[in-house]
Structure 1
Amino acid sequence: MANEIGRKASELKRQGDHLGARAMHNPWTERLARLGYLAKGVVYAVVGVLALQVAFGQGGETTDTKGALTTLAQETWGTVLLAVVAVGMVGYVLWRVVQAWMDPDGKGTGAKGLVTRAGYLVSAGVYAFLAMAAFRLVLGTGGVGRHGDQSAQTWTARLMSQPFGQALVAVVGLVIAGVGIWQAYKAWKEKFRDKLRLDGMPPRQAEWAVRVSKLGILARGLVFVMMGVFLVQAALTANPRRAHGLDGALATLAAQPYGTVLLALAAAGLVAYAIYMALEARYRRFLGA
């Protein structure tokens, strides 16, 4: 019986690898994925640069990814750039669905693999909403809606109004914090290296690429931990106003002792994460590539 189960599991994995390879042999799948990583990097670059401006007293504001879209729309050629970002986001969503469904990264059907692939679907949903917000701005059919703290507090209040709502908010907070801890662990152990074709870069550049990527992933992970902790606090106090989004997490850092330094470090980390996304767009290793 055990041997039969093992054979079936191996067969399922081979089928998944075959489907994943077929997906990546389609040149448009890879192009959309690379454009998606680049679009994601642009959004995080805007968030980081705006926060850096706040830290150095040059204006700007702490904002989240939706706020970054609004900022892009206000720039010269903003509509054109935003349209490219919107298309890139669609590409990123499709790539996440491919990762979840066809498993081109070989995560497998074990408990850990299924959780990881489910996370890809969640990511696809999040960036699908972001892509729709970008398209609304491009078409001039309205803004991106509520974002940042306002959005986080609204959906937290709605979730709390449901049966066992406080417990659900706490679980969501723990999951987000867990994702952040995993990101920090991935950065520390440099688990991202296997996804990048660093042999295509000069050794010195590859060394700096790893350092910048490590800083970026770590910074994003710590921000996620903060957002998760805020949600847990909201659940424990039954106060949705304790929930904060990305902009609220950055603003909280700024309000601490030595807040300017903390905000500058976090902002620089988000810019570094944007660079990491650009590296993924250029050097990402795909199955069969």
Structure 2
Amino acid sequence: MRLTGATGSGTVQARRVAKGRTVAAVARAGFVGRGVLYLLVGALALRVAFSDGGDRRQADRGGAVAELADRPFGHALLWLLGAALAGMALWRLSELFFGQAGPDGGTARKRALSGGRAVFYGFVSYSVLAYAAGDKGSGSGSSDRQTQDITAKALDWPGGQWIVSLGGAAVLAAGLWIAGRALLRKFRDRLRLGEMSARVRRGSDVLGVTGGAARGVLFATAGGFAVAAALRHEPGKAKGMDDTLRSFTDTAAGPWLLALIAVGLAAFGLFSWVNARWRRI
């Protein structure tokens, strides 16, 4: 009985720590870091939109890291960014073990989503910190080259076309899901709206809808390219974030569609900062 009581007490204590101020602080720092990345990607994409094809800077996470490194105190900023994103990974990891905020936060689906996000942000954090430590091929690697290399390897597997097709379809569906939730303003469920003024709530809605829709369109388009690469068995058809963004300039709208997506990604960066302040954690 004593052992059971001690175990139960330890579990409760661990849960309190996971939901305590420390985890909340690192989670909010993570949202700040995510906001920085999306703002930089949005700015790079906007620059590409009106560059007449001459600007080959990567409009993706690698380009954002390289851009930040070139700023005054860039090296120190990279260490801060990597640490902030590590905080995001730790928070998502705590959600895997102890559940998300909200009445249904402890469901297996929500925990699995948090686990996947913990892995993703852990990788992003590692790549940024590795770049800051001197591995210049880490954080600034081309998302296009990485995507095409992974696609080429997967297509050589038994049933590779099906695997890549299903993966691309999943990314496409995730993009539509992200955009749909943004348009329906589902993000409001996770914000402390009662603590916001009416003006801040309106601004949050604009940023959340615009940013989420742009992010969803970007994901869905990248997923569509992956499906096309699988069906044609051409790895070069798969595109990372940079080439996916550049593909918007090939539409009838020309650079204006890319500019619109770029503004949306920057809006998502600002919305990440809204989350840093008012997100329920």
TM-score, normalization by structure 2: 0.88
- List runs of 5+ in structure 1 lacking aligned partners: 1-16
Using the TM superposition, name which of 158-167 and 140-149 deviates more: 140-149
Shift of 1:60: 7.1
Shift of 1:135: 1.0
Select which of 191, 197, 210 maps to 2:192.
197
Using the TM superposition, name which of 248-257 and 261-270 deviates more: 248-257
- List runs of 5+ in structure 2 lacking aligned partners: 1-10
Shift of 1:211: 1.2
CA distances 1:188-243 after superposition (whole Å, capped 9, x unpaired): 11110021112222212211211111110111011000011111111111111110
**Cα pair 1:216 1:271 within 8 Å, conserved:** yes
Task: Identify the residue that residue 63 of structure 2 maps to in structure 1.
Answer: 67
RMSD: 2.2
**Cα pair 2:39 2:265 within 8 Å, conserved:** yes
Partners of 1:141 and 1:215 lie apart in 2 by 35
Task: Identify the residue that residue 34 of structure 2 maps to in structure 1.
Answer: 40
CA distances 1:82-129 after superposition (whole Å, capped 9, x unpaired): 1110001100111111222211324356xxx43343232222222222
Query: Where in structure 1 do 4 or more consecutive aligned residues deviate above 3 Å?
Result: 17-21, 56-62, 106-109
Shift of 1:23: 4.1
Partners of 2:198 and 2:164 lie apart in 1 by 46
* Counterparts of residues 210-249 of structure 1 (less than 5 Å): 210-249=205-244
Task: Identify the residue that residue 47 of structure 2 maps to in structure 1.
Answer: 53
User: Are residue 76 (structure 1) and residue 72 (structure 2) matched?
Assistant: yes
**Cα pair 1:133 1:143 within 8 Å, conserved:** no
Task: Identify the residue that residue 3 of structure 2 maps to in structure 1.
Answer: none
**Cα pair 1:183 1:220 within 8 Å, conserved:** yes
Partners of 1:61 and 1:261 lie apart in 2 by 19
Shift of 1:141: 3.1
Cα separation, partners in 2 of 1:61 and 1:146, compared to 1, 3 Å: closer
* Counterparts of residues 1-289 of structure 1 (less than 5 Å): 22-57=16-51, 61-106=57-102, 107=104, 113-144=107-138, 146-286=141-281
**Cα pair 1:83 1:135 within 8 Å, conserved:** yes
**Cα pair 1:51 1:61 within 8 Å, conserved:** no
TM-score, normalization by structure 1: 0.86
Using the TM superposition, name which of 92-101 and 258-267 deviates more: 92-101
Q: Output the amino acid matched with 1:231.
A: A
Shift of 1:160: 1.4
Secondary structure of 2:208's partner?
helix
**Cα pair 1:69 1:134 within 8 Å, conserved:** yes
**Cα pair 1:231 1:244 within 8 Å, conserved:** yes
Partners of 2:13 and 2:243 lie apart in 1 by 41
